[in-house]
Amino acid sequence: MDGYITPMTGVIFSIFIAASVMITIYTCNFYYLAYLARSRKDKPDAVSDPGTPSVTIQLPIYNEKYVAKRLVDAICALDYPKEKMRIMILDDSDDETVTLLQEAASHYQKQGFNIEHVRRGTRNGYKAGALKHAMLTTDTELVAIFDADFIPPKWFLKKAIPHFVKPEIGLVQCRWGHINEDYSAITRAQALSLDFHFLIEQKAKSNSRLFMNFNGTAGIWRRNCIEDSGGWHTATLVEDLDLSYRAQMKNWKCVFLPDIVIDAELPMQMNAAKRQQFRWAKGSIQCATKLLTDIITHRRVAGEAKLQAFVQLTRHIVYPLMLIQFLALPILLASNANIYIVSFIPAITIALYLAMGPVAYLMIIRGMYHKSWVSKAATLPILLIYTAGISVNNTVAVCDAIFGKKNEFLRTPKYGILKKKNDWKENAYNLPFSQVTLLEIFFGVYGLIGVFIAITTNNALFAPIIGLQMVGFYFIAYMSISHTMFKRNKSKGHKPTKSELTANRIYKISMIGIIALIVFGGFIAYNGYNTDIYPLDRTRGHLDGIIASSDPVTIREHLTSAKEGIAVVMANDLIPEKTDANGMLVSKNPVWVFDTPTTNFVRMDADIDNMLVMIDEISAAPRDSAAYHTGMLDINESSEALKYHIGEAIPFMYISITNIIFSIMWITAILLIFTALKRKRESIKRNEDLESRI
């Protein structure tokens, strides 16, 4: 760090370093799992023929009219004896999905399938509650589970069931395929992220002493394992992770089968993808709170398994750490803190960032996909942007879990659309953007300021790092807004109603308002930096020039420029000031609560005047005299002290009363727009419900 760092900057620097270290630890752990995954066999050990054990296939479904029947058709097409297969459609829907599933169940019952359409009359416990209810009447040896958007192939049961040949195996998890991976940049990024999870994490932990998690679908359980582990719990949003960890604490083994791929549909709407990510992030922290103490104190759980369980359950804490880094970095750069890993070779810092990030991931991708790795590598930049942008959404989820906020289990809507030419935007279940989008916009504006600070403080090497996250925030916010629709599901020839036309008009006006607020906010932030912060940064630069110089003429020029910089800031009428009894200005201090003399710009201006007098006296003395050398030392020390005091004042220029008031007004304006949109959505929903009853 710089030799003269203010206490506040020192605290921020410590927080920044702590966040960086923790992120590095989680990242290195992923690379360790990548090493383990590469050293394991691509296929599990050979299996023998277990015959045809009885299996119940449970299909938890809630309002999935576009994909529910497709799933039932795929299940009934499985190549497995009908008398050994029971199908339970666990339908908690409250829309036309109910009728579709009733008809599908009736159709297949007539063909001799043992298929039930289960309606429990409540959504208590959501998906976990439906599975728990189904287990009350389940008596088969095995239980397979599929979410509505999955399409199991005909051979699925015959290939997966033989892996239960060992009695200690309680779960067989199959790999997720991505039937609509090429639909958009969003789906490609999600597909790559999920492949990292399955082909690295799941493969590394499969059938070992490390804990592997059930992914909620595309897997088969041994019924005895579910019952022995305490059954399905409804206390968290990730009942799958919860049960699989409890099972492994009971010494059951979990196996991942990378060669059995079950195609599924990825969320195409950004708001749906964010909802899914939110549920996974919050649920993981909930499970950490619920299970970690038992895991760590469990005598029969290996030390490495305990460590990996801790990392697995808490890994979403990386997202708030990313935001902490993002917030701290521009402040540190503006304070001239030295945050390069090797201070005298700044490029090494960027090289290490690249080596720990994109370069390492490229090597992992090459090992995962072999010949097709180049096409997958092209998706990595999209994934990096997506991951950076989604950090706000997931940070809110982590905070919700930490503070114990209760949330409804909100499913991720799917549309049954697999081809690029087909559009989902006029389908039902479209989700609106939420208040989290406001935070994403805020971080995007902050990132723009951060890039500007990095460039103007001669730290341009950090501009791409800040810029990547900034682009991520804008990308997620833009997609969240652009993917918001207030139209009902329409059939061809449908004429928009008056309420729909009004809603779309309000939507467009609101979007223009939000964009205008973003542009205005960016302009005000730039103008504020240019008039308040930049003159102080230039003044610090001139003080650096004084410290590095021994020429009185050059020093006087720097002092004159430094005085001009202080004068520009003092001309700001919004900085609190004080006068004496005679009306003389005695204080101009940005620290508006418990102000300190060292951050008083009037005093700084007087210090520069004293230094100007001093340098004139020094200029008249012989250069080889004691007076000359003593005077230069005094000038040097005074410059160092003044530079330090300006550094103390800069953070308070950011959090001035004016900036706080403006920020409140800016946020309030966007919140009012959100409120207007929310009320309009509720109005349309009430009208639609009324029309549906007529």
pLDDT band at 452 (very low <50, low <70, confident <90, very high): confident
DSSP state of 335: T
End-to-end CA distance of the chain: 71
User: Which run of H or E residues covers position 256?
Assistant: strand 253-264
Strand segments (E) across 84-203: 85-91, 114-118, 142-145, 150-151, 169-178
Q: Percentage of the chain with pLDDT > 90?
A: 54
**Average pLDDT for residues 170-177, to the nearest whole number?**
97
| SS3 of residue 139 by DSSP | coil
For position 245, what pLDDT does the model report? 97
**Average pLDDT for residues 555-574, to the nearest whole number?**
89
pLDDT band at 280 (very low <50, low <70, confident <90, very high): very high
Q: Quick one: which of 10, 224, 234 has its CA closest to 124?
A: 234
pLDDT band at 305 (very low <50, low <70, confident <90, very high): very high
Q: Quick one: which of 365, 26, 41 has its CA closest to 206?
A: 41
For position 663, what pLDDT does the model report? 72
pLDDT band at 25 (very low <50, low <70, confident <90, very high): very high
Helices 463-482 and 318-334 cross at an angle (nearest 10°) of 130
For position 455, what pLDDT does the model report? 84
For position 406, what pLDDT does the model report? 76
By the 10 Å C-beta count (0-12 exposed, 13-18 middle, 19+ buried), 352 is classed as middle
Residues 6+ apart with CB under 8 A from 694: none
For position 507, what pLDDT does the model report? 66
For position 588, what pLDDT does the model report? 86
For position 488, what pLDDT does the model report? 44
- List the structure tokens of 437: 């989008």
DSSP state of 415: -
Active site residues: 92, 240
How big, in percent rounded to 5, are the helix, strand and coil portions of the chain?
Answer: 65, 10, 30
Give the chain's length.
Answer: 694
**Average pLDDT for residues 612-632, to the nearest whole number?**
90
Given a contact cutoff of 8 angstroms between Cβ atoms, the answer to whether 288 and 398 are in contact is no
Which numeric CATH code is attached to 49-266? Answer: 3.90.550.10
Q: Which residue has the higher pLDDT, 437 or 666?
A: 437
For residue 292, what are the CA distances in angstroms to 244, 368, 386, 634, 652? 13, 31, 29, 59, 41
Beta bridge partners of 174: 257
Phi first, then psi, for residue 670 (nearest 5°) are -70, -40
- Average the pLDDT over each of 100-109, 293-302, 414-423 and give the range with the smallest value: 414-423
For position 678, what pLDDT does the model report? 66
- List the structure tokens of 597: 């003399």
For position 275, what pLDDT does the model report? 94
pLDDT band at 487 (very low <50, low <70, confident <90, very high): very low
| Residue 472 pLDDT exceeds 80 | yes
Given a contact cutoff of 8 angstroms between Cβ atoms, the answer to whether 157 and 240 are in contact is no
The chain-wide mean pLDDT, for the chain, equals 86
CA distance 62 to 43: 35
The angle at the Cα of 539, spanning 350 to 644, to the nearest 5 degrees, equals: 75
For position 683, what pLDDT does the model report? 67
CA distance 172 to 346: 49
232-249 pLDDT, tens per residue?
999 999 999 999 999 999
| Residue 490 pLDDT exceeds 60 | no
Q: How many CB atoms lie within 10 A of CB 159?
A: 15
- Average the pLDDT over each of 88-102, 366-380, 509-523 and give the range with the smallest value: 509-523
Q: Which residue has the higher pLDDT, 583 or 274?
A: 274
| Residue 458 pLDDT exceeds 60 | yes
CA distance 418 to 412: 16
pLDDT band at 292 (very low <50, low <70, confident <90, very high): very high
For position 489, what pLDDT does the model report? 44
Residues 6+ apart with CB under 8 A from 686: none
CA distance 250 to 307: 18
For residue 480, what are the CA distances in angstroms to 233, 389, 540? 32, 11, 42
For residue 574, what are the CA distances in angstroms to 224, 531, 535, 565, 590? 71, 12, 16, 17, 9
| SS3 of residue 155 by DSSP | coil
| Residue 502 pLDDT exceeds 70 | no
For position 3, what pLDDT does the model report? 44
Give the DSSP per-residue string, 364-403. Answer: HHHHHHGGGHHHHHTTHHHHHHHHHHHHHHHHHHHHHHHT
Q: Quick one: which of 94, 412, 383 has its CA closest to 265?
A: 412
| Residue 48 pLDDT exceeds 70 | no
| Residue 478 pLDDT exceeds 70 | yes
**Average pLDDT for residues 119-132, to the nearest whole number?**
93
Given a contact cutoff of 8 angstroms between Cβ atoms, the answer to whether 338 and 9 are in contact is no
**Average pLDDT for residues 99-106, to the nearest whole number?**
96
Burial profile 187-220: b = 16 or more Cβ within 10 angstroms, e = fewer: bbbbbbebbbebbbbbbbbbbbebbbbbbbbbbb
Q: Which residue has the higher pLDDT, 261 or 346?
A: 261
- Average the pLDDT over each of 187-201, 318-332, 516-530 and give the range with the smallest value: 516-530
Q: How many CB atoms lie within 10 A of CB 640?
A: 16
- Average the pLDDT over each of 39-48, 117-126, 551-560, 655-664 and give the range with the smallest value: 39-48
- Average the pLDDT over each of 55-59, 87-91, 211-215, 652-656 and give the range with the smallest value: 652-656
By the 10 Å C-beta count (0-12 exposed, 13-18 middle, 19+ buried), 532 is classed as buried
